[in-house]
Amino acid sequence: MNELIARDRGLTMLTDFYEITMANGYFQNGFQDTICYFDMFFRQVPDSGGFAIMAGVEQMVHYLTDLHFTSDDIAYLRSKRIFDEKFLHYLEEFHFACDVWAIPEGTPIFPGEPIVTVRGPALQAQFVETMILLCINHQSLIATKANRIVRAAQGRSVMEFGSRRAQGFDGAVFGARAAYIGGCSGTACTLSDRLFGVPALGTMAHSWVQLFDTEYEAFQAYAKAYPDNCVLLVDTYNVLKSGVPNAIKVFDEVLRPLGIRPKGIRIDSGDITYLSRRARKMLDDAGYPDCAITASNSLDEYIIQDMLRQGAKVDSFGVGERMITSSSEPVFGGVYKLVAVEKNGSIVPKIKISENVAKITTPCFKSLWRLYDRDTDKAIADVVAMHDEIIDDNQPYVLFDPEHTWKRKTVDNFRAVRLQKKLFEGGRCLYEPRNLEEIKAYCQAQVDTLWDEVTRFENPHTYYVDLSQKLWDEKNRLLSQRSY
């Protein structure tokens, strides 16, 4: 089903135009088959958080698996009158032939790490840049925001309610998938349930209540239609004077005679902290202590955190636009940079240098390791190393800050895990799909390996992402050579 999303829409041409002009130029200069290495990484965690969540890998895989140019694509490119005919013929015979590695979905990720690596012919490895960034940037952004909101809810269910405010239909559909990976319990987006198995949730809108002559009649009709899943929206008129009393009356008259317990009420406006406390007492006094209270209405992690600190009696949250658009910081700044080329059988490192130090790249074909304490199972640090380096966790290992190299720490009693997994080899797909429930559970387990100091919202501890000595030496050598 997921593959149909890409195939039906022909996403090969969803690319920046300069990817095609460069591809044509590579072809004309004989570089089309030069083997290159590209890394995707990001420079800053959204919302000044301590970590981000990897997501979007499966959609990236589906795109790469079906990467081909149709006759309509070729006709369009020919109409531009700037591309070589031999190049267009090359595209007609195009077969994806790259190796691709990526960090699994649901893994906490940190700035500067290679989260996707592509090795292959220059023309191909360059061309896929846009869609790799689009898939990973978008879903990682939403998964990260969702995880923040879920953690703020302190074990209470969080539902993704943002479809109508998402940035287009892809934003709704894939955003719901990413939010589920980040920890949400379900979504309002029906299509995400159909395509990915994200549980679709929802009951009624204010229009349902308004359509009936009275609020009581609206509640009564809904309870009769859905007795086993009766959640009533109680803020259309007045939560405490009308909504909750009418809900209780319907619970008494419709559900109780059937031996069915009500599922809950939802409050979508007003001072929800105050209203939820009063509503909780009213429900408890009426004999419905198990009737859950759901809160919605422009929530985010900080509002939820404050509500709970102030004693809100809320059992679950519905979060819309501030999650599905990550409105507080709506860009995940992943970039895709050339880091090496193969020449005469050797891998030649490449580096981009900038007066903005943050934009200096880390060269070379690399691997990424995460070190875990064997006693606590907590993550100690990540190490970016040369691709052929092996971190032996039976020996002490020296970590050092790549910017402040005098800061060093020797660790032992740890286990070292290589994070990137190979997804393609010579264009052949090796990816084994995982059930979304499995990805979600894996995400939660991996976030639990982080120290509380890293996961806090305000001024989180900076998690260590270090370079191996060998990689640091090579980067420093290139910087010295390129200094003017």
Q: Which residues contact 320 (CB under 8 A, 6 or more apart)?
A: 160, 161, 162, 164, 165, 296, 298, 299
150 and 99, same structural domain? Answer: no
Q: Which of 264, 297, 324 is the last residue in one of the domains?
A: 324
* Distance between first and last Cα of the chain: 54
CA-based nearest residue to 269, from 305, 240, 306, 290: 240
CB-CB contact of 399 with 383 (8 Å): yes
Exposed (0-12), middle (13-18) or buried (19+): which is 157, by Cβ within 10 Å? Answer: middle
Averaged pLDDT, 447-469: 97
pLDDT digits (tens, 9 = 90+) for 167-194: 999 999 999 999 999 999 999 999 999 9
CA-based nearest residue to 74, from 64, 88, 60: 88
Torsion angles phi and psi, residue 229, rounded to 5: -140, 55
Averaged pLDDT, 286-301: 97
Averaged pLDDT, 70-90: 96
The rounded distance, in Å, linking the Cα atoms of 476 and 482 is: 10
Averaged pLDDT, 283-307: 97
Q: Which of 324, 359, 375 is the last residue in one of the domains?
A: 324
User: So what's the pLDDT on residue 207?
Assistant: 98
CATH for 256: 3.20.20.70
309 and 228, same structural domain? Answer: yes
Q: Which residues contact 288 (CB under 8 A, 6 or more apart)?
A: 248, 251, 261, 262
Residue 483 has pLDDT above 90, yes or no: no
Give the whole-number percent of the chain exceeding pLDDT 70. 98
> Mind giving me the DSSP string for 342-377?
EETTEEEE-----SSGGGPPP-SSEEEEEEEETTT-
How many Å separate Cα 361 from the centre of its chain? 23
CB-CB contact of 49 with 457 (8 Å): yes
User: So what's the pLDDT on residue 101?
Assistant: 98
User: So what's the pLDDT on residue 365?
Assistant: 98
CB-CB contact of 237 with 270 (8 Å): no
User: So what's the pLDDT on residue 237?
Assistant: 98
155 and 136, same structural domain? Answer: no
pLDDT digits (tens, 9 = 90+) for 261-293: 999 999 999 999 999 999 999 999 999 999 999
161 and 187, same structural domain? Answer: yes
388 and 298, same structural domain? Answer: no
How many Å separate Cα 283 from the centre of its chain? 38
- Count of positions (residues) in the chain: 484
449 and 430, same structural domain? Answer: yes
Structure-token match 């979007």, residue found: 56
User: So what's the pLDDT on residue 79?
Assistant: 97
The rounded distance, in Å, linking the Cα atoms of 450 and 437 is: 21
Residue 470 three-state SS: helix
| Residue range of the domain that includes 13 | 2-142+330-481
317 and 183, same structural domain? Answer: yes
CATH for 85: 3.20.140.10
30 and 18, same structural domain? Answer: yes
Averaged pLDDT, 16-33: 95
Torsion angles phi and psi, residue 292, rounded to 5: -75, 155
How many other C-beta atoms lie within 10 A of the C-beta of residue 183?
23
More confident of the two residues 140 and 484: 140
pLDDT digits (tens, 9 = 90+) for 42-61: 999 999 999 999 999 999 99
117 and 27, same structural domain? Answer: yes
169 and 108, same structural domain? Answer: no
User: So what's the pLDDT on residue 357?
Assistant: 85
Please provide the average confidence, as pLDDT, over all residues in the chain.
Answer: 96
CB-CB contact of 92 with 29 (8 Å): no
319 and 205, same structural domain? Answer: yes
The rounded distance, in Å, linking the Cα atoms of 468 and 472 is: 6
Q: Which of 324, 354, 380 is the last residue in one of the domains?
A: 324
The rounded distance, in Å, linking the Cα atoms of 412 and 393 is: 7
Total of domains in the chain: 2
* Ranges 346-355, 372-381, 426-435, 474-483: which has the least confidence: 474-483
How many other C-beta atoms lie within 10 A of the C-beta of residue 114?
26
The rounded distance, in Å, linking the Cα atoms of 299 and 293 is: 15
Averaged pLDDT, 69-90: 96
271 and 222, same structural domain? Answer: yes
Strand partners, 466: 383
The residue type at 105: E
User: So what's the pLDDT on residue 358?
Assistant: 84
User: So what's the pLDDT on residue 1?
Assistant: 43
pTM value is 0.96
> For residue 141, how many C-alpha atoms fall within 13 Å in the half-sphere facing its CB?
24
